[in-house]
Chain A
Amino acid sequence: MADILTQIQDELDMLLNQMQSSLAYIHYRTPPAPIQNQPLLSSFAEHEAQTQAQQAASQPNNAQPAPAAPEPLPTPEEFQKDIRELSRDLLLKEQQIEVLIGSLPGLHSSEAEQVERMRELEKELEELEGERLKAVKEKEELVKLVEGRIMSLGESA
């Protein structure tokens, strides 16, 4: 796992990406609002797809396949649902970043305190190393003792 700082920065970029994509979604996918007492016309993208499909139909020998018709625009209900989902995701991401910021380590210690703590730990480590060496020596002596016992047992048997 990357460290928290990098994670925050990545998530921050992700947040901006989400903002952009939600704006783009609204920009491109909003269903047209029907105007009262006016005939409902197809959108530009639909119109283009239709004309191209007609062209392709009128020229059956054309090797180039007709481009796929654009995805139909969502209904107003779907669109509302999608927008809700997008905004929930956006806030969720924001909350995630807040959690990450909240779990930043060592916020309550200044640099001097940190250096102090490091010195302490270093000293403790050195002491422990000496103790460890002593313990290892003791262990080796014991092993020697045991070996001696086994040898003497073997002799005696």
Chain B
Amino acid sequence: MAQPPPEEEEQFLTSIFPAPPPFYKHFTPTNLSALKDAQEKLSPNTNDQNSNKNSKDASSSSFPTTTLTPTQLLDLPAPLREQLTYLIPPPPPDPSVEYRVFGKPTKLGGDDPFEYIMQYVRNRLWNPDTSQGLLPLWEYERLYPADPSSKSSLSREGAGDTQMTDENNNNNTQTTQQQGEGGGGGDWGTLDRQTYLFRFLRSIIIKHVELLGILATDPTAPAPPDADGNGPQVILPENPFNPGTPLYDKAKDKVLREILNLVMNMHALINEYRPHQARETLIRVLEGQVERKKKEIEGVRRMAGRVGEALEGLRGAAAAAGGGEEGGGVDGNEGEGSSSGGGGGVEKDEEKIAMREMWRALEGV
């Protein structure tokens, strides 16, 4: 009993990664074959039981990947049960059931933590319990349609539009303001993500300029009335720096909230784009593989052609050289080879050339 702990300690010290779960040691050939035996032994039983009730069940349980159910496992003799328990993976949890990973409740399908993150950011910016923080009243607001239809013709239209704004943006920011805000009133559903990203990005710059203006003139100015004509919102009934008056929402905070919202929207859009890019990357890789295979085949073909040529040349030369002395010694078919017999040194050279050619071809192979 005293032996295992030091061993574990050593493992802990020598390896960066945690040791594998100890039950991997149970996957020995003997245990695996025992599992197979047990499965085979138990499967017919279940088949017999099921065939009385339902033949369909029986066929499904005789499927080769059948695993032992917990009840079947309990029926096994104790030593065998101990031996086999770790070999059978537990069933995956139900998709609707929550379980904990690193102390966090998780579901099998995984859920979108976006709302939680936005809530977290909001609480970091303004603590509602203590009424303290940097930026009150921020709420994430989605500025793009939930499921934008990315039809090719429409997105091309959008790309042309953004190119136009590109040029304007180079000239001065005033134009982009008009473009960015004018574009905001367009038909939302027919534009693609790229256009939205451009819009948000330019709006951020505009808002930055706006923020600069507010800070330069009056950093404590109350927020201007909104579209409905409502005045600045009351954040706290009592201003801690000016008792007796309520704390109003400030213009700079409003702009900061808008910038934050735009940035969050951009991040969300980009993250939504990720599966698309993953598919696109896969397509690129596949295209690359097709290209490589084509080249490989072409290379092999070319090599084959060269070897064939060299062989032809060799055959001709060899047949010419050996034509006089040993008729069928070199190869079987020398119908054309023997006809060019006769002559001495010239053919010897040709043979050498042919040999060299062939070796070169072989090196390529």
Q: Which residues of A are at the interface with B, using a C-beta cutoff of 8 A? A: 3-5, 8-9, 12, 15-16, 19, 23, 26, 90-91, 94-95, 97-98, 101-102, 104-111, 113-115, 117-118, 121-122, 124-125, 128-129, 131-132, 135-136, 138-139, 142-143, 145-146, 149-150, 152-153, 155-156
- A114 near B197 with CB under 8 A, answer no
Q: Would you give 13 A-B contacts (Cβ < 8 Å), ordered by A?
A: A3-B277, A107-B192, A108-B152, A110-B151, A110-B152, A128-B290, A135-B301, A135-B304, A145-B311, A149-B358, A152-B329, A153-B330, A156-B326
> Is B83 part of the binding interface, using a Cβ–Cβ cutoff of 8 Å?
no
Judge whether B141 is part of the interface by a CB distance below 8 angstroms: no
Q: Which residues of B contact A135 (CB under 8 A)?
A: 296-297, 300-301, 304
Residues of A within 8 A of B156 (CB): 108
Separation of A86 and B99 alpha carbons in the complex (Å): 50
Contact indicator A107/B155 (Cβ below 8 Å): yes
Chain A contact residues, majority secondary structure? helix
Complex CA gap A98/B290 in Å reads 32
How many residues does chain B have at the interface if contact means C-beta atoms less than 8 Å apart? 69
Please give the distance in Å from B337's CB to the nearest CB on chain A: 13
- Docked pose: A5 CA to B276 CA in angstroms: 11
Contact among A97, A118, A121, A156 with B201 in the assembled complex (CB-CB below 8 Å):
A97
- Distance between Cα atoms of A118 and B286 in the complex (Å): 8
Contact A8 B286 (CB under 8 A): no
The 0/1 profile, CB within 8 Å of A marked 1, for residues 173-214 of chain B is 100000000000000000011100110011011001001100
A55 to chain B, nearest CB (A): 33
Answer yes or no: B57 CB below 8 A from chain A CBs: no
* B129 contacts A by Cβ under 8 Å: no
Once the chains bind, are A146 and B362 in contact (CB under 8 Å)?
A: yes
Q: Given the known A-B contacts A111-B276, A132-B300, A143-B365, are A104 and B194 also in contact in the complex, defined by CB atoms under 8 Å?
A: yes
Contact of A106 among B263, B277, B308 (CB under 8 A): B277
Residues from chain B with a CB closer than 8 A to the CB of A104 are 194, 273, 277
Q: CA separation between A143 and B358, bound complex, in Å?
A: 11
Using CB atoms and an 8 Å cutoff, list the residues of chain B in contact with chain A: 150-152, 155-156, 159, 162, 166, 169-170, 173, 192-194, 197-198, 201-202, 204-205, 208, 211-212, 215, 259, 263, 266-267, 270-271, 273-274, 276-277, 279-284, 286-287, 289-290, 293-294, 296-297, 300-301, 303-304, 307-308, 310-311, 314-315, 318, 322, 326, 329-331, 355, 358, 361-362, 365
- Pairwise interchain contact A101-B155, C-beta atoms closer than 8 A: no
Query: What's the Cα separation between A152 and B328 when bound, in Å?
Result: 11
| Contact yes or no, B212 A131, CB < 8 A | no
B290 near A110 with CB under 8 A, answer no
Distance (Å) between the CB of A79 and the closest chain B CB? 14
6 more CB-based (< 8 A) A-B contacts, given A105-B277, A128-B294: A8-B197, A95-B169, A102-B166, A132-B293, A142-B304, A152-B330
Contact A19 B152 (CB under 8 A): no
CB proximity of A105 to chain B, nearest CB, Å: 5
Main secondary structure of the interface of B (DSSP, over half): helix
Residue of B nearest to A150 (CB): B358
Specify which chain B residues have a CB less than 8 angstroms from the CB of A114 in the assembled complex.
276, 279-280, 283
Chain A nearest Cβ from B244, distance in angstroms: 29
* Distance (whole angstroms) from the CB of A48 to the closest CB of chain B: 24
How far apart are A107's CB and chain B's nearest CB, in angstroms?
Answer: 5
B194: contacting residue among A90, A101, A113, A142, CB under 8 A: A101
Question: Given the complex, which residues of B lie within 8 Å of A101, measured CB to CB?
Answer: 194, 197-198, 201
Cα(A97)–Cα(B266), bound, Å: 12
Expressed in whole angstroms, the Cα–Cα distance for A117 and B194 within the complex equals: 22
Q: Which residue of A lies closest to B303 (CB)?
A: A139
B270 touches A146 (CB 8 A): no
Judge whether A91 and B362 touch: CB under 8 Å. no
Instruction: Verify B282–A139 contact, CB threshold 8 A.
Output: no
Return chain B residues, CB-CB under 8 Å to A90: 205, 208
Residues of A within 8 A of B296 (CB): 132, 135
Identify the closest chain A residue to B294 (Cβ). Answer: A128
Of the listed residues B150, B284, B308, B314, the one surrounded by the most CB atoms of chain A closer than 10 A to its CB is B150
Cβ contacts under 8 Å, B193 to chain A? 107
Q: Which listed residue (B155, B284, B308) contacts A108, Cβ 8 A?
A: B155
Residue of B whose beta carbon sits closest to that of A109: B152
**A142-B307, A156-B322 given as contacts; is B300 within 8 A of A136 (CB)?**
yes
* B-chain residues with CB within 8 Å of residue A8 when the two chains form the complex: 197, 266, 270
Which 6 pairs from chain A and chain B are nearest by CB?
A106-B280, A121-B286, A135-B300, A128-B293, A114-B279, A156-B329
B205 engages A146 (CB within 8 Å): no
Shortest distance in angstroms between B159's beta carbon and chain A's nearest beta carbon?
7
